[in-house]
Chain A
Amino acid sequence: MNFMKNRLLALSLGSMLTGAAFAQNAPFTAYDEKLPGTDLTFKMMPIPAGEFSFGSPAGEKGRGEDEGPQKKVKIAAFWMGAHEVTFDEYDIYADAEKDKTPVPDGMTRPSPPYIDLTLGMGKLGGFPANSMSQYGALMYCRWLYAKTGVFYRLPTEAEWEYACRAGSTTAYPFGNDASQLKDYAWFAANSGNKYHKVGTLRPNAWGLYDMLGNVAEWTLDQYDPAFLAQAADTDPWNKPTAKTPRTVKGGNYQDEAPRLRSASRLKSNTDWNRRDPQIPKSKWWNADAPFIGFRIVRPVKQPTKEEAEQFFADVIDKYLGSR
């Protein structure tokens, strides 16, 4: 039953991604997107379609039980943000005073948090946006779609891992030697217990920075420890059925090396917001999770307007405050 259900859900995403209604004229190369009404740009890197082994082999050091069984899956082409979304970018959405072009009626913005969520680690000037709920990350995508007309969303867990591996089959994109990790990732051994400005270390083979470490990254998937056994062959996606838990990838600046492996799967936790003393809890923020952020993807095959709206209704409106 579950198997069938997941296949169907995955198919529905697949049909959305391939059911393009308007021509895709953009050349499949890296590009900079400008946030309307600002001087800010963000870089998108082309991630070619392909096949990869999702998950980790049984013998991988530091492996979690939820990382298997490994499965060959096909992934359609997409662009992915070269960097984690920065607070400079996120604030154009979050702060009405900074957003110089109109947004559609009824589009809400994050409420300002009562407490400082950056813990003094830095906000503007290239630091990763952090502490937002998965809902807050998805709402940024919806806002960006409204602003640019381009359909951006969070990556699925499989897309994220495929892009992170960039063709590698080892524990880390650069091999199995964790001692090299410090050249690529901010983590427990080199972060000073702080996140850092995005893009200051080395990228992976596909030009993606900070995939590992710095802030961990939201994906589009419901977390299920048994997901790999059920994943569809093509563009697998564990479509959400509840507000929590969601799958998070990449590990963060507080984590030890094994949590940063390409296959490592992290489960979101309501404890990440336990010090929010209000009810209802903030839909937008996690009071105790400065280590969580996100990056965006753009599917090459763009959905129609109706499909995009249906997508946002399904992943956002049904699960307000997903975290």
Chain B
Amino acid sequence: MQEEQQGFHAGRRDFVKQSSMLAGGLLAMPVLSQANFFSGAGDVIKIALIGCGGRGTGAAVQALRTKQNVQLVAMADAFADRLNDSYNNIKDELGENASRLNVKEENKFIGFDAYQKAIALADVVILTTPPGFRPIHFEEAVKQGKHIFMEKPVATDPAGIKRVLDAAEIAKSKKLNVVVGLQRRYQASYRELFKRFNDGIIGDLLSINVWWNQGALWIRPRLPQYTEMEYQMRNWYYFNWLCGDHIVEQHIHNLDVGNWFMKDYPVTAYGMGGRAVRTGKDTGEIYDHHAVEYRYGNGVIMNSECRHWKDSASRVDEELTGTKGRIICDRGLIQDHKGKVLFQFDKKTENQPYQNEHDELFAAIAKGEYKFWDAERGAKTTLTAIIGRLATYSGEVIPFDKALNSGLNLQPATYAFDAKPPVMPDADGFYPYAKPGITKYFS
């Protein structure tokens, strides 16, 4: 973990009974661990799911599969069909644990403002809408004093990052546990590699290479009854106010590994990108490739590539090169510069990182511990990805701090299905997209 543990927190009163047994001494210990297993009895940890897509549904099921006494009590989504599908899928998935799904009809909330009502009913909230909404939802969850699991990325623009950073400070002061779904931080192989890196196995870090090069993703069709806002919400991957482009939405995982091992964030981003094959009306405004040079304060460079090109050589990985060797993350391998293996992680011992995020979070919450404050680093790593996008879109060198303080905001003035989204198609149905040298952000 990047930060040291900040201390012990007495937690919500509901959960304190268990931790007070710990204070009672060793004799109480077996009782304590018993109490942490699902028993169907009191002290229920109530969960609200905000954003009922495939990932949100997956996260809800993972939360409901933890050993704690948890129940899903509220759900919120912009769309009724998405929420209902999610509810049914959770039910199917839980099987004999279906009693953990306890969402009454009146606690299923639909629309842009649904999140507020759902958050109010929970102890822990799962924030898994498209990332453009994350700052608003995170702010509200912090305001209402909830523990939080939120998916990456945590915003799509610098103004959103500011909001998340401000709310993260409040979350810390309230000792609210916050886990961000950058799951490599919760993955056994990466933790082993990081431990050995800290032990000096590759010496001083000299350079970082990260890749998310793969094929194309899903596209949702425009149905005749859709308003422009509904179409963009359904096909959200292709609109920056919602998604942030794939460098933000997907490649953030690899950039996060670079920042993690670097124990820092880049000072500048400089790069290139474009739409080589992603040229349709149905693929909005995002690019299909970005190549970015990130420079850290000590001069180390992280070279980053991400692309959505089908039928091309794919690679999703991180490599960290040091004075004495190299870490190849996806293979769980550390070798010296002559190729001698210094460490090989045994993949048979890999954990399920998506489950582990929830196991660790809910264990801490049940014990009344304050152990997770991922929001700040999640926001700064999201900003790392965002400045990469600003660099490839404009062709300029983008300083991290300047972007952070730019106030750049992609969000619509009004969230409503009859409102105009911030980007609109031209007469032929194509969306305008950024062009280096023409697109300008700040000088």
Contacts and interface: CB of A to CB of B under 8 A. Distances in A.
Co-complex (A, B): yes
Interface of A: 91, 95, 111-116, 118-120, 122-124, 274-280
A114 B217 CA distance: 6
Most buried by B among A115, A118, A275, A280: A280
Given A114-B217, A116-B214, A116-B215, A277 B58 contact: yes
Given A115-B214, A279-B89, A280-B54, 13 more contacts: A91-B311, A112-B217, A113-B215, A114-B250, A116-B212, A120-B317, A123-B313, A123-B314, A275-B353, A277-B183, A278-B55, A278-B58, A280-B89
B354 A277 contact: yes
Given A278-B55, A279-B61, A112 B353 contact: no
A276 B352 CA distance: 10
Contacts of A91: 311
Contacts of B315: 116, 120
B169 interface: no
B55 A111 contact: no
A280 B213 CA distance: 25
B218 interface: yes
Contact of A95 (B212, B250, B310, B330): B310
Nearest to B330: A119
B81 interface: no
Interface string B314-354: 11110000000000001000000000000000000000111
A73 B93 CA distance: 40
Contacts, number: 63
Interface in B59-91: 59-62, 86, 89-90
A114 B55 CA distance: 11
B236 to A, nearest CB: 14
Most buried by A among B90, B93, B218, B311: B311
Q: Pick the 4 closest A-B CB pairs, nearest first.
A: A278-B54, A116-B214, A279-B57, A116-B314
A278 B85 CA distance: 13
A277 B59 contact: yes
Contacts of A113: 215
B217 A118 contact: no
Contacts of B330: 119
Given A116-B314, A120-B313, A280-B54, A275 B352 contact: yes
A119 B57 CA distance: 26
Interface in B30-65: 54-55, 57-62
Contacts of B90: 279
B314 A120 contact: yes
Nearest to A282: B54
B311 to A, nearest CB: 5
Interface in B257-275: none
Contacts of A95: 310
Contact of B55 (A115, A122, A274, A277): A277
Given A112-B216, A277-B354, A118 B57 contact: no
A255 to B, nearest CB: 13
Contacts of B89: 279-280
Contact of B352 (A114, A116, A124, A274): A274
A321 B315 CA distance: 27
Contact of B311 (A116, A124, A279): A124
A279 B317 contact: no
A120 B313 CA distance: 6
A114 B315 CA distance: 13
B214 A279 contact: no
Contacts of A115: 214, 316
Contact of B57 (A114, A116, A122, A278): A278
Contact of A112 (B55, B58, B215, B314): B215
B58 A279 contact: yes
21 contacts: A111-B218, A112-B216, A113-B215, A114-B217, A115-B214, A116-B213, A116-B215, A116-B315, A119-B314, A119-B316, A120-B313, A274-B352, A275-B352, A276-B58, A277-B55, A277-B59, A278-B55, A279-B90, A280-B57, A280-B92, A280-B93
Nearest to B92: A280
A112 B218 contact: yes
A123 B311 contact: yes
Contacts of B92: 280
A115 B92 CA distance: 25
Nearest to A87: B311
A290 to B, nearest CB: 11
Most buried by B among A91, A112, A279: A279
Contacts of A278: 54-55, 57-58
B316 to A, nearest CB: 5
B344 to A, nearest CB: 11
A123 B316 CA distance: 14
Most buried by A among B54, B183, B353: B54
A118 B213 CA distance: 11
Contacts of B314: 116, 118-120, 123
Contacts of A112: 215-218, 310
A279 B54 contact: yes
A115 B90 CA distance: 23
